[in-house]
């Protein structure tokens, strides 16, 4: 797990409101996963994607990266869409303009957009929150 993935996971998994909206995975805590989720995971759960883009963001005296990722939120088909909305809105609240711990980096900008509808899955409803971080080496 990369330092950024760990930072995002730690924020999401530690939030009691979000934990109350998600399934628990193998008694290990909230169902928050990196891509791909485990095949035996129960809905509702969250999947934090790998980098969609990762671009150098260097200055004269520092090195950094601009990273964009998706956080995909899923709930079973037939479930209340309001619960899925609550999960996605909570993800947005936890990550938009919030500093997260990323070992070896300082978060300069943290922004989120969405939620918006995820592509249709045969087993789940989905919403996506896209997150953007500018990270400078510490």
pLDDT in tens, 22-56: 999 998 889 999 989 999 999 999 999 999 999 99
Q: Is the peptide bond before 44 cis (omega within 30 degrees of 0)?
A: yes
Q: If you count them, how many residues does the chain have? A: 138
Percent of the chain with pLDDT over 90: 79
Confidence of residue 123 (pLDDT cuts 50, 70, 90): confident
Render pLDDT for 65-102 as a digit per residue (tens, 0 to 9).
Answer: 999 999 999 999 877 778 899 999 999 999 999 999 99
pLDDT score recorded for residue 1: 55
With DSSP H G I counted as helix, E B as strand and the rest as coil, what are the percentages for the chain, rounded to 5? Answer: 25, 40, 40
Q: pLDDT (tens digit, 9 = 90+) per residue, 100-115?
A: 999 999 999 999 999 9
Above 70 in pLDDT, residue 122? yes
Q: Domains in the chain, ordered, with CATH? A: 3-137 (3.30.2000.30)
- According to DSSP, the residues that pair with 67 across neighbouring strands are 54, 133
Mean pLDDT, rounded, of the chain: 93
pLDDT band at 119 (very low <50, low <70, confident <90, very high): confident
Please give the DSSP secondary-structure letter assigned to residue 90: H
């Amino acid at each position: 797990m990369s330092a950024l993935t760990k930072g995002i996971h730690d924020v999401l998994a530690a939030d009691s409101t979000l934990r109350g909206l998600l399934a628990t995975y193998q008694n290990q805590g909230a169902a928050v996963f990196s891509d791909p989720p485990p095949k035996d995971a129960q809905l509702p759960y969250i999947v934090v994607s790998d980098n969609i883009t990762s671009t150098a963001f260097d200055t004269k005296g520092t090195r950094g990266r601009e990273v964009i990722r998706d956080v995909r939120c899923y709930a079973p088909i037939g479930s209340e869409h309001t619960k899925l909305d609550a999960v996605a809105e909570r993800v947005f609240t936890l990550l938009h303009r919030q500093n997260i711990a990323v070992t070896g980096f300082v978060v300069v900008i943290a922004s989120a957009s969405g939620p918006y509808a995820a592509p249709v899955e045969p087993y789940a409803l989905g919403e996506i929150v896209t997150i953007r971080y500018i990270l400078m080496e510490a």
